[in-house]
Amino acid sequence: MSIIDSIDVFFDRLKDIRSATQLMVGTLPDLQRWTTGTSLRDLLTTYQHANARHLPEVLAIFDEYSKEPGEDDCKAGLIEGGNGHIEIAGYSVRNLLLVARSLRIGYYLGAAVEVALGVATRSGLAVERTRWTRS
């Protein structure tokens, strides 16, 4: 895909959001498995389910505008290879690394959504903010 105008920028960002969300939902079971406490495991499970609900919403925007979501992986590099240091972390710091990792991914997605919404608004695309509210 070539990026010529702001609508192309929006769909490029949306592809990145789709990919990052899919990758995050896919990596959360690993993070849940590595936790050392049930409270954090339960929180990560809730986070996984909340983000999994966003995927159909993102894909629906592609459908509405007859665009392809693509198969590219998230360009931010937040997921791939990021679990290696958690696997080797000592028991006493593992939960701290899990929380830091989850927050980093969540903040990236939140910022990506805000940028995409701003571009959509400036481009005249009718994308509802309520669809993007991160739970």
> pLDDT digits over 63-73, tens only?
988 998 888 77
Whole-number pLDDT of residue 135? 45
Residue 78 carries which DSSP code? Answer: S
* Residue 28 burial class via C-beta count within 10 angstroms: exposed 0-12, middle 13-18, buried 19 and up: buried
Whole-angstrom distance, CA of residue 21 vs CA of residue 64: 19
Query: Average pLDDT in the 32-58 region?
Result: 88
Indicate the SS3 state at residue 86. helix
Which one has a higher pLDDT value, 70 or 42?
42
Whole-angstrom distance, CA of residue 97 vs CA of residue 86: 6
C-alpha gyration radius of the chain: 16
Whole-number pLDDT of residue 82? 66
Whole-number pLDDT of residue 133? 53
- Answer yes or no: CATH 3.40.50.300 is held by domain 6-69+82-132: no
Residue 88 carries which DSSP code? Answer: T
pLDDT digit string, tens, across residues 80-135: 666 777 777 777 788 888 888 888 888 888 898 899 999 998 888 877 665 555 44
